[in-house]
Amino acid sequence: MTHVPVTESALQNFGHNPLSVRDTDHYEQEYIEAFVEKWDELIDWDARAQSEGGFFIQVLAAEGKRRVLDVSTGTGFHSVQLLRAGFDVTSVDGSANMLIKAFENAKRHNLILNTIQADWRWLNKAIQGKYDAIVCLGNSFTHLFDEMDRRRVLAEFYAALRYDGMLILDQRNYDAILDVGYDSTHKYYYCGDRVVAEPEHIDAELARFRYAFPDGREFHLNMFPLRKNYVRRLISEAGFARVRTYGDFQEQYGEHDPDFFIHVATKNAPRGNGDGSDE
């Protein structure tokens, strides 16, 4: 194993008691440059594109959505996929390090991202106009530790959408982790087969994940373990007329089987009953 020298700037700061760090604003200290540089090893763009099978593109295209706000750009995977599929995409993230990496990744695909660094809680101060759809992916909503922050962010999302806009928001299946235990195949989201991503601590208000890479480097994320029905309720109470929930991109699933849930919400209820699990 190659030894990698670690400088102070390459270390995450969780203080003396990492389990006490339960603050929405702390994500800025977690996505340090050294971790962001490793992020694509965890995702594996090619494997993730294959596992998703164009799910998000199909959902957006089926509803005629074109102008998309990717509010959790990360290293740019979904922004790049959507741009390549012909969508008009604006890429937002709270982490400057993530946006820099996303811009570099897009250039390698001969694309230029329209990027905005913004905190979701003040999203509408940073963007212009209304969008057909917002995608909030990569388990990002879990970084909000305070319920008022979650409600405020969903209100910001709602306000940023056109009258018939759509929100696509995903999350880990924390119900299964809390009730049964962790058992992820990394089949769909975190597809890097040489990276270990697993919970180091879990309780009702904190999921602390460890990410171990082949070169011996380790990083952590502290997240709030959101239960599925709680998130569905928050989305509905934010004003969305319908919420459909998929498990690992499937309409039918056992509650504890999927690694991830994907919530697809619309501002105005469409005609007919539609598919998926509806509110």
Residue 276 has pLDDT above 60, yes or no: no
Return the biggest CA–CA distance within the chain. Answer: 59
Q: Render pLDDT for 142-162 as a digit per residue (tens, 0 to 9).
A: 999 999 999 999 999 999 999
pLDDT interval class at 278 (50, 70, 90): low
Grouping H, G, I as helix, E, B as strand and the rest as coil, residue 267 is: coil
Q: DSSP of 103-149, one letter per residue?
A: HHHHHHTT----EEE--GGGHHHH--S-EEEEEE-SSGGGG--SHHH
Distances (CA, A) of 252 to 168, 169, 217, 244, 261: 18, 18, 38, 11, 11
Q: Render pLDDT for 95-134 as a digit per residue (tens, 0 to 9).
A: 999 999 999 999 999 999 999 999 999 999 999 999 999 9
Distance between CA atoms of 200 and 18, rounded to whole angstroms? 11
236: nearest Cα among 269, 204, 194, 203: 269
Copy the structure tokens of residue 172.
Answer: 């880990």
Q: Render pLDDT for 56-97 as a digit per residue (tens, 0 to 9).
A: 999 999 999 999 999 999 999 999 999 999 999 999 999 999
Residue 7 has pLDDT above 50, yes or no: no
Q: What is the pLDDT of residue 191?
A: 45
Distance between CA atoms of 184 and 177, rounded to whole angstroms? 10
Q: Render pLDDT for 30-62 as a digit per residue (tens, 0 to 9).
A: 999 999 999 999 888 888 888 888 999 999 999
Q: Are 157 and 137 in contact (CB under 8 A)?
A: no
Distance between CA atoms of 265 and 18, rounded to whole angstroms? 34
Angle between the N-to-C axes of helices 147-160 and 228-237, in degrees from 0 to 180, rounded to the nearest 10: 50
Q: What is the pLDDT of residue 185?
A: 54
101: nearest Cα among 81, 74, 62, 125: 74
pLDDT interval class at 270 (50, 70, 90): low
Q: Which residues pair with 266 in a beta bridge?
A: 166, 242
Q: What is the pLDDT of residue 8?
A: 44
What average pLDDT does this structure show over 180-190? 61
